[in-house]
Amino acid sequence: MYKPLSLFVGLRYTAAKRGNHFISFISLVSMLGLMLGVAALIVVLSVMNGFDRELKQRILGMVPHATVGNYGEPLSDWQALEADIAKSEGVEGVAPFIQAQGMLTHAGRVQGVFVNGISPEEEPKVSIIGDHLKRGSLKDLEQGEYRIILGDLLARYIGAQVGDKVTLVLPEASVSVAGITPRMKRFTVSGIFSVGAELDANLAYINMDDAARLKRMEPGSVDGLRLRYSDLFQAPQLVRKLAQPRMLSASDWTRTHGNLFQAIQLEKRMIGLLLFLIVFVAAFNIVSTLVMVVTDKRADIAILRTMGATPATILRIFIVQGVVIGFVGTLLGVLLGITLALTVTDLVEWIEHVFGIQFLSADVYFISYLPSELQWSDVSLITTSALAISFMATIYPAWRASRTQPAEALRYE
């Protein structure tokens, strides 16, 4: 006698070629449904993780984790304040900045722009701009030379290249003999950066001292200080803790990009919940498959009962059969999902190249490609959940099989 009997018979039922081909088809559909559900969950959650990662590394690498200022007034003695803040809890870097909004014109084209006046030496402490320069260097932003570094899309919009002259127009009036005119200044394009995000279309960098003269600020004054924290999620609490005793105004990344981050987190949860329904549908297919198998095998069950098999043994036989279907479907889904999650970025790029289409445009989305980051915690959660659902789906059909009465089942045999 094979032992354990329930495992032997359950595996035999699963592997045997049934006379009822419809039941075999439903079993295959159940397995494929579970496989596709698990694979879709892994791929979609990996893509959402990729968006989450790009938001943290690219967008939040370019914008400040937090800023402090003097309630809209310029900061004059900012060097001492910078040294003081650099010693605060969680702060990794501090750098001064001057901000301005205006329009950039070149060759008859006009585009709105957000200008950051920076210190080329200190900006790398708080920004990743230096790592994403396609042409030029931050060191090119020399004081008094009036040079500017443009985002890649911004440069394309206005048709500017490195070495071209562009005009920056600020929405502040200047009074002259010709009347009231907007404040404007010619800059030379010295570099182009690309982070593959919406910032490429509306951001430019100039020297901080040039920005101060352009805004007619007092020499040595800045709009505020940018802060980079080791844990960006702690930035909102830490910057307020830092600013209050120093009588400074404070802002953080949650005010500028917090809604985007929350939207990605919400979408990840909702899409994961919706895709779990695919797994539940596949589990219901397992229920229907086993119910039909139980009906088809009533005579076999009765014979096993007359040979001494207990109801618990019958119960375990059909649980084994359902678990095998769930295990194989989940295993294939995990393998397919991991493969696609690791290759989906290259696959989408290949499709875009072959068919000449673009799924994600930087004009609409905050990045221009499909990111993916496989997290093994997601894989383990999905695998465990799918196996648990598959197991629960076998309980009712297996219990029904264990309740089969031999005399009733063999009456008409």
Same domain, 113 and 35: no
Same domain, 307 and 204: no
Same domain, 199 and 270: no
Same domain, 26 and 79: no
d(CA 263, CA 51): 11
pLDDT digits (tens, 9 = 90+) for 358-411: 777 655 665 667 888 999 988 998 899 888 888 888 888 888 877 777 666 566
Contact between 317 and 401 under an 8 Å Cβ cutoff? The reply is yes
Same domain, 242 and 272: no
pLDDT digits (tens, 9 = 90+) for 243-281: 888 889 998 888 877 777 777 777 778 877 877 777 787
Range of the domain at 342: 5-58+262-410
Same domain, 105 and 129: yes
Nearby residues of 226 by Cβ (< 8 Å), 6 or more positions away: 64, 66, 67, 94, 95, 96, 97, 126, 127
Residue whose tokens read 């404070």? 250
From 222, 247, 272, the end of a domain falls on 247
Domain for residue 254, yes or no? no
Closest CA to 229 of 247, 245, 241, 220: 241
d(CA 401, CA 396): 9
d(CA 132, CA 198): 14
Domain for residue 257, yes or no? no
With cut-offs at 50, 70 and 90, classify the pLDDT of residue 178. Answer: low
State the virtual CA torsion across 297, 302, 307, 308 in degrees, nearest 10.
Answer: 110
pLDDT of residue 174: 63
Quote the number of domains for the chain.
2
From 247, 278, 311, the end of a domain falls on 247
CA 280 to chain centre: 25
Same domain, 51 and 95: no
Same domain, 314 and 389: yes
d(CA 166, CA 150): 10
Please give the backbone phi and psi of residue 269, each rounded to the nearest 5 degrees, phi first. Answer: -70, -45
Domain for residue 66, yes or no? no
Domain for residue 376, yes or no? yes
Domain for residue 233, yes or no? yes
User: Does residue 101 carry a pLDDT above 70?
Assistant: yes
With cut-offs at 50, 70 and 90, classify the pLDDT of residue 187. Answer: very high
d(CA 29, CA 23): 10
d(CA 149, CA 115): 10
Overall average pLDDT of the 133-149 stretch: 91
- DSSP for 38-102, please give it: HHHHHHHHHHHHHHHHHIIIIIHHHS-SEEEEBTTBPBSSHHHHHHHHTTSTTEEEEEEEEEEEE
With cut-offs at 50, 70 and 90, classify the pLDDT of residue 110. Answer: very high
Same domain, 373 and 337: yes
d(CA 309, CA 194): 71
Q: Which residues pair with 133 in a beta bridge?
A: 193
From 198, 221, 247, the end of a domain falls on 247
Domain for residue 64, yes or no? no
Residue 20 CB-half CA count within 13 A: 14
